[in-house]
């Protein structure tokens, strides 16, 4: 059976789809999947053995200038690619108008969420078959249910992302923890002094601390965390694929609400993701070795980019005070012991 899967973005959404794909691959012999995904994430679908071909789409870039000649040529080539093969099923796992339009371009019976289940209800008009997946569950569980209904199998009891770390080479032999300290909102940032304290505890335990970064602000923070701390290393800037090798072979990962925490969840490395202002219940990092620590404050999650409860001079909101370095160190250490069978 060959299907076309449309799930274009974002980074977290792409990773949320992998457990559903793994279910289908386990349950359907000889399943082959072509996957339409945003060009910035085109390396990720190929991490799963069920994926036969990755079809990149550049909608984020094209929409900035739809009348640009090169963009129009690329869009025409993309349409031709979708029409080049007939599929047994074309499945829109995004539920947006943009993904529904891409689904409609492809050749084969088209399936997606019903109007009541879609993120953008008008998208349902473009499907031949409509499936009901109630809202209110985590995105991973909703996608697993969607795939099972679309392809006709019972959902397996346990889930896995189906990503093997063997595709990457171990970057170093010594033991290390990796800190995913960067994110988009100030209110998602765990206090820098906490990172520094946690790094000290990890180094004192005999392990190294590895600090990646993606922009100059994160680079400067990583350098401050590592400053004068023997055993803390700031990595050079690298691609997602190269960074994933460091994630895959780490003893543990500590992160915040960021796309890379979903990568950590997929690799099933002992990991903690820290949530304060945002809500992990529907789209948070989720995996067999992932633990989410959420703020216990009454106002959390506020889903706000600014905090009204900050004291003068405070940068990070007070919702992280219940998630201190000692607690994080203890939780992560227990996860490592559990995985090692200690």
Q: Which domains does the chain have, with CATH numbers?
A: 2-151 (3.40.50.2000), 167-340 (3.40.50.2000)
Of 146-155, 182-191, 192-201, the one with minimum mean pLDDT is 182-191
Dihedral sign for Cα atoms in the order 301, 303, 309, 310:
positive
Give Cα separations from 50 to 27, 241, 269, 278 (angstroms): 12, 19, 22, 33
Give Cα separations from 315 to 180, 185, 192, 198 (angstroms): 19, 12, 10, 19
What mean pLDDT do residues 99-122 have?
97
What is the pLDDT at residue 312?
60
Q: Is the pLDDT of residue 235 over 90?
A: yes
Cα–Cα dist 314/325, whole Å: 18
What is the pLDDT at residue 316?
65
Contact 209, 235 (CB under 8 A): no
* CA nearest to 15, candidates 226, 231, 302, 262: 262
What is the pLDDT at residue 311?
67
What is the pLDDT at residue 314?
64
Give percent of the chain above pLDDT 90.
Answer: 87
What is the pLDDT at residue 306?
82
Q: Is the pLDDT of residue 57 over 90?
A: yes
What mean pLDDT do residues 204-214 have?
96
Q: Which residue has the higher pLDDT, 183 or 315?
A: 183
Longest dimension (CA), the chain: 62
What is the pLDDT at residue 340?
75
Tokens standing for residue 224: 């401050």
Cα–Cα dist 56/42, whole Å: 6
Q: What is the pLDDT of residues 179-190, one digit of tens each?
A: 999 998 888 999
Q: Is the pLDDT of residue 342 over 60?
A: no
């Amino acid at each position: 059976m060959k299907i076309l899967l449309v799930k274009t973005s974002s980074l977290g959404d792409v990773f949320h789809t992998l457990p559903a794909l793994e279910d289908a691959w386990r349950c359907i012999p000889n399943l082959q999947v072509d996957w339409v995904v945003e060009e910035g994430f085109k390396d990720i679908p190929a991490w799963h053995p069920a994926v036969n071909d990755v079809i990149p789409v550049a909608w984020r870039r094209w929409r900035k200038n739809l009348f640009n000649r090169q963009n129009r040529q690329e869009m025409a080539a993309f349409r031709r690619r979708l029409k080049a093969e007939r599929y047994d099923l074309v499945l829109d796992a995004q539920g947006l108008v943009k993904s529904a339009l891409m689904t409609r371009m492809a050749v084969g019976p088209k399936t997606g969420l019903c109007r009541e289940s879609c993120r953008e209800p008008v998208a349902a008009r473009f499907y031949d078959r409509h499936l009901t997946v109630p809202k209110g569950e985590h995105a991973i569980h909703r996608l697993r249910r969607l795939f099972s209904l679309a392809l006709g199998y019972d959902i397996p009891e346990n889930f896995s992302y189906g990503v093997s770390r063997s595709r990457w080479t171990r970057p170093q032999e010594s033991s290390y923890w990796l800190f995913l300290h960067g994110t988009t909102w100030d209110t998602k940032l765990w206090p820098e002094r906490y990172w520094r304290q946690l790094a000290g505890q990890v180094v004192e335990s005999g392990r190294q601390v590895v600090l990646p970064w993606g922009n100059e602000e994160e680079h400067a923070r990583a350098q401050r965390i590592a400053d004068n701390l023997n055993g803390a290393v700031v990595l050079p800037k690298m691609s997602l694929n190269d960074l994933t090798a460091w994630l895959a072979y780490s003893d543990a990962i500590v992160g915040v609400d960021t796309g890379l925490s979903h990568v950590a969840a997929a690799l099933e490395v002992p990991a903690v993701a820290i949530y304060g202002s945002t809500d992990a219940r529907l789209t948070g990092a989720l995996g067999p070795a992932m633990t989410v620590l959420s703020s216990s404050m009454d106002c959390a999650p506020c889903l706000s980019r600014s905090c009204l409860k900050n004291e003068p001079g405070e940068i990070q909101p007070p919702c992280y005070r219940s998630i201190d370095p000692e607690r994080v160190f203890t939780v992560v250490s227990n996860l490592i012991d559990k995985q090692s069978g200690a």
